[in-house]
Each structure stands twice: as structure tokens, then as C-alpha cells.
Amino acid sequence: MSDAMNYLLQARPEAMKAYFTFLKKSDSHLDIRTRDLISVITKVAVQTEGGFRQYLTRALRNGATPNEVIDALMMAFPVLGLAKIIWATDILLAMDIPEFRPENLDAEAFWHDIVSLDEIPQEETQYYQNEGRHLFIYRKGDELNVYDSRCPHQVTDIPHLSLEGKILTCPKHEWAFNIETGECTAKGNRPLRQFDHKVENGRVLAYW
Ligand code: FES
């Protein structure tokens, strides 16, 4: 929640409680994806970049596809107009989310060959690039955790220099993550995204 919302909650608790109850009750007949897509559009309508990034991240996390986000933007043309759709598209381009790249919009998920298992040292975190996506892989014994480098807050691509020991800190708003588990340990409340993975013929494969 923003500092402004926190302030209003303290200054006008009854009014704000009623506001949150209103929000909670007003979407009770919508499925999650529809609700999330409408939320994304509301942020484009008022052009709040942080809100747009955050609601977009939530929509993707809850299963909306990039094509659905783009459809929602286009369908809202009568209220948004072209200028706001371009505004949102510029932010999407700046975020550079792999799934939104034109060549990936209709791509099927598949197993990506990342690295030889032998090359991953024990109890260390390695950083890899594979087809435009960055990954952190942590190994302990035979266990591997394969993390998306994208922050679960607003999809910032967390650089490898943000790793200090076992703690990965997103440079944007400083959410911190324990790289052994992926759990968020400071500022935020959601873990790093992990990819399904397997080892075949000594190679580590990850699925997205
Ligand atoms: S984008 Fe906000 S903490 Fe990472």
C-alpha cells in the first residue's frame, strides 16, 4: 500500500474501511483474470505508472496472458484513447518482459537447456541467460532451485550484482529474498518465481 493510503487509513479509518469493503464487495461475481484485467485498465486510465506495473504483475501472476493484457488495452480504446494505450505500451517496452516480446506472444512453453549440472557449484548461486531471460540457480546437494530474475513486485529484472551472500535484493524498492528458499525476507510479501526443472543426461533443463 502506498504511503498516502496508509496516511488516509490513520487519518480517516472509518471512511477508508468502508472504501475497502466497497472494493471487496464490488468484484465478487468476476473471475480473477477479468478482475485483474479491469484493474490494469483503471491504472492506465489514470496513468499511474507504479500502479500499472503492480497490477500488471498481479494479472500475469494470476494467469492472464500477455495477449489478454493487450486485448484488454485495445478493447478499452473508447475510454482510453490511443495516447494512453501508447503510454502503457511504452512502459511495457521499458519493462521488457520476455513473454511480451512479439516473437513470444504465441509461443508454447518448452524445456530450455540451461547448463551442465557439473558446472553448478555446491551451495552457491549462479546467474544465467537463456533466450532473453535471466535466471538464478541455487544448488544444495542434488536439490536445485531455478528462479526467474524478475521481481515478484513489479517485474524488475534483478541484476546478478544484487546478490550478497544468500540475499538477493531488488534495486527498485528493495524487496529482499533468501536465495536458498526464494522467500521474501524484507519489505515485500511474495517469493521469487521458480521454474519447473529437471536434470537429463547431466544437463539442467528449465520449463517456461
Ligand atoms: S520491483 Fe519493487 S522491489 Fe522489485
From the CA of 158, give the closest atom in ligand 1.
4
Q: What is the pLDDT of residues 96-148, one digit of tens each?
A: 999 999 999 999 999 999 999 999 999 999 999 998 899 999 999 989 999 99
Q: Residue 49 pLDDT more than 80? A: yes
Q: Where in the chain is the domain with CATH 2.102.10.10?
A: 111-207
Half-sphere exposure of 172 (CA within 13 A, CB side): 15
Percentages of the chain per state (helix, strand, coil), in multiples of 5: 45, 25, 30
Confidence of residue 94 (pLDDT cuts 50, 70, 90): very high
Contact call for residues 132 and 101 (beta carbons, < 8 A): yes
Q: Where in the chain is the domain with CATH 1.20.1290.10?
A: 31-104
Ligand 1 centroid, distance to 161 Cα (angstroms):
15
* Domain range 31-104, CATH architecture: Up-down Bundle (1.20)
d(CA 17, CA 164): 40
Q: What is the pLDDT of residues 64-84, one digit of tens each?
A: 999 999 999 999 999 999 999
Pocket of ligand 1 (CB under 6 A): 151, 153-154, 156, 170, 172-173, 175
Protein residue closest via CA to atom 1 of ligand 1:
154
What confidence score (pLDDT) does residue 98 get?
93
List, in order, residues 6 or more apart from 71 with CB less than 8 Å away: none
Ligand 1 centroid, distance to 142 Cα (angstroms):
30
From the CA of 173, give the closest atom in ligand 1.
3
Q: Residue 1 pLDDT more than 80? A: no
Cα–Cα distance list, 199 to 2, 115, 120 (Å): 43, 10, 12
Q: Across all residues in the chain, what is the average pLDDT?
A: 95
Mutate to test the pocket of ligand 1, among 175, 177, 190, 193 (most ligand atoms within 8 A of CB): 175
Confidence of residue 34 (pLDDT cuts 50, 70, 90): very high
Q: Residue 157 pLDDT more than 90? A: yes
d(CA 31, CA 154): 22
Q: Residue 161 pLDDT more than 90? A: yes
Ligand 1 centroid, distance to 169 Cα (angstroms):
9
Mutate to test the pocket of ligand 1, among 162, 172, 185 (most ligand atoms within 8 A of CB): 172
Ligand 1 centroid, distance to 155 Cα (angstroms):
7
CATH superfamily, domain 111-207, is: Rieske [2Fe-2S] iron-sulphur domain (2.102.10.10)
d(CA 175, CA 169): 6
Q: Residue 169 pLDDT more than 80? A: yes
